[in-house]
Amino acid sequence: MQQDSAIHISGLNKTYANGFGALSNINLDIKRGEIFALLGPNGAGKTTLISTVCGIVQPTSGRITVAGFDSAQQYRAARAALGLVPQEISTDAFESVWNTVSFSRGLFGKPRNDAYIQDVLKRLSLWDKKDEQIRRLSGGMKRRVMIAKALSHEPSILFLDEPSAGVDVELRKSMWAQVRALRDAGVTIILTTHYLEEAEEMADRIGVINKGKLILVEDKHTIMQKMGKRQMIFVLRQPLATLPATLHPQPLVLDDDGSTLTWTYDAQAEIDISAMLDQLQAAGIRPKDIYSRQSNLEEIFMELVEAV
């Protein structure tokens, strides 16, 4: 196990009672103080993986340690180190924010600490709502109450299961800022998400799970660099009916109406734009405009998952 691991998972397998293999030989270290995004298509095994770490689902084999505690043999200590923000909002609608969050802390057997609860509510911009009944809050505030609840017992690791599901763009952005602030305060964050943009924006590292297997774990910037593609788009003066034969060896694609040519290459490749322009000119093509774009995580992810 690495010294700086918040969570260490080795040889983890889960076969459900009906014989379905949901996780297959998962090995993963989550570093202390990072934001780790777990990505995967529907049914890939994300919830099963989180549930085994949180002790909600029994693994078939393998070992998990949380903050150094064995999740099977030292279950209570391992569980106390974790905060889990579920997808669904589940609180007593008639209870106040303050009571809900304080009560959650009590469930973990932690002594009362009003200063800590106050700090959590302030960090999540809920302090002025502390006496409000949950049912009177907006959807975004309710979600922040769920985060406050999960933090109430001072866990060092926070799981966020689809934090942005059903949250509008503006709220999503403010939530991202708050999650980042939590990370900066020392909390390790693991989130599952369907929004690739969310992972691209927030994560330090990304894990991709597909059909129960972890197919990639990598620093986000490395993924974008190693697997990303770049494109140079030539907007043509006159539309072309077909790509001239002399250009066939080039990775150029003519769009449907013949008005642009797209040149795709690896993000790391060294290219020679003037040589390409010479070739275009030799074929009688003179672009009137040129622009470039870089593939985003969504495109990289689709390619990865489809390749398996």
Q: Residues in the site for ligand ATP, rule: CB under 6 A?
A: 16, 18, 20, 22, 40, 42-48
User: Side by side, which strands form the sheet with 21-31?
Assistant: 21-31, 5-15, 61-66, 69-70
Give 21 or 244: the residue with its C-beta nearer to ligand ATP.
Answer: 21
Q: Identify which of residues 12 and 22 has a Cβ nearer to ligand ATP in the complex.
A: 22
Q: How far is the CB of 216 from ligand ATP (least distance, A)?
A: 15
Give the nearer residue to ligand ATP in terms of CB position, either 49 or 252: 49
Q: Is 145:95 a contact under the CB 8 Å cutoff?
A: no
Q: Which residue, 48 or 260, is less far from ligand ATP as judged by CB?
A: 48
The smaller minimum CB distance to ligand ATP, of residues 43 and 284, is found at: 43
Closest distance to ligand ATP from the beta carbon of 22 (Å): 4
Tell the smallest beta-carbon distance from residue 6 to ligand ATP (Å).
21
- CB nearer to ligand ATP: pick between 67 and 163: 163
Question: Closest Cα partner for 181 from 145, 208, 207, 147?
Answer: 147
Nearer to ligand ATP, 47 or 102 (CB): 47
CB neighbour class for 96 (10 Å; exposed up to 12, middle 13-18, buried from 19): middle
Q: How far is the CB of 71 from ligand ATP (least distance, A)?
A: 17
Q: How far is the CB of 187 from ligand ATP (least distance, A)?
A: 22
- Element at 43 (helix H, strand E): none
Min dist. Cβ of residue 14 to ligand ATP (A): 8
DSSP conformation letters of 53-107: HTTSS--SEEEEEETTEETTTTHHHHHHTEEEE-SS--S-TTSBHHHHHHHHHHH
245 token code pair? 């034969």
Rounded CA gap, 78 and 92, in Å?
26
DSSP state, 156? S
Assign 211 to helix, strand or coil.
Answer: coil
The residues near 226 (Cβ < 8 Å, ≥ 6 apart) are 218, 267, 268
Least separation in angstroms between CB 155 and ligand ATP? 21
Closest approach of Cβ 64 to ligand ATP, in Å?
15
Between 48 and 188, name the residue whose CB sits nearer to ligand ATP. Answer: 48
- Look at strands 21-31 and 252-254 and give their pairing: unpaired
How far is Cα 54 from Cα 75, in angstroms, rounded to an integer? 9
